[in-house]
Amino acid sequence: MNLKLIWGLLVAAPMFIAPSINANELCLDGVCVGDDVERINVTWKPIEVTYLDQKFVETELADRKVEDVYYDYNEQLVADRNVLREILTYVIRNQRFDSKVLGALSRVKAICSSLTLTGEVENESDDRLYVTFRAVADNGKRGMLRVVRIEKQYNIMAPHLRPGDAAAYRSVKKQIKEQFPNVLNVRDIDGRVSSSAAQNANVLLGFRFISDVSNPLVLKILDPSNITMIEEDEEASSLCQSR
């Protein structure tokens, strides 16, 4: 085939370029990717500390210092020991936060590891909203708690489990498509992704297979920004460099 003809076909062929998405365009129910968790005007659902949580703390601190526990779990926070002990079960065992944890983190002098915790917004809806932050460098300050993931779990089950939810599923799916045109529909929201489209998607909609009788619909929004890990960022607190 003539080389000029081949080149002409290549030029004429439609090219797909994935549209760029800014983090501040990814918002849901008053929370945006990129927000500072400590400045979001919501009420965080309190976390109940269980007997197993208490035993975890007792066991971990039985024969070593609290700083050593954090070190063994690859977390590094510069703070008084009483603060580190107060949030030990939240940070190390559960990786969750609420208002109490945020209050304790405000007394931390420096966050030197990519601390990642998830909290739930308290609301009167049957749907549940989860927000995940990651500590990132903040011009030499303690570290910013940046929203990197938002998940909304709808009170809508997979239609094969609850056929009556089929209409609600179609309605929510349409609303999400209108708000997030680039949303990617997947079967299992927590499943391993193999396609490049799924790997690069920032907004995904699918079902969470909790059990044979519980498969709720979940919308997952991820931070598209490529942010340097705080462990490698020169803008992290100077207190981190001396440890």
Alpha-carbon gap, residue 120 to 48, rounded angstroms: 12
Alpha-carbon gap, residue 22 to 31, rounded angstroms: 14
Name the pLDDT band for 195 (thresholds 50, 70, 90): low
pLDDT tens string 50-73: 999 999 999 999 999 999 999 999
- Rounded to an integer, the average pLDDT of 7-15 is 37
- 206, 221 Cβ separation under 8 angstroms: no
Amino acid type, 35: D
pLDDT computed for residue 191 by the predictor: 83
pLDDT computed for residue 199 by the predictor: 73
- Taking CA atoms, 194 is separated from 67, 159, 182, in Å, by 39, 25, 18
Q: Which of 199, 183, 180 is nearest to 191 (CA)?
A: 199
**pLDDT value at 19 more than 50:** no
- Rounded to an integer, the average pLDDT of 94-100 is 97
**Greatest mean pLDDT range, 84-88, 158-162, 184-188:** 84-88
Q: Which two tokens stand for residue 35?
A: 């927000």
For 187, other C-beta atoms within 10 Å of its C-beta total 9
What residues have CB less than 8 Å from 174, skipping those under 6 apart?
none
Q: Where are the domains of the chain?
A: 21-241
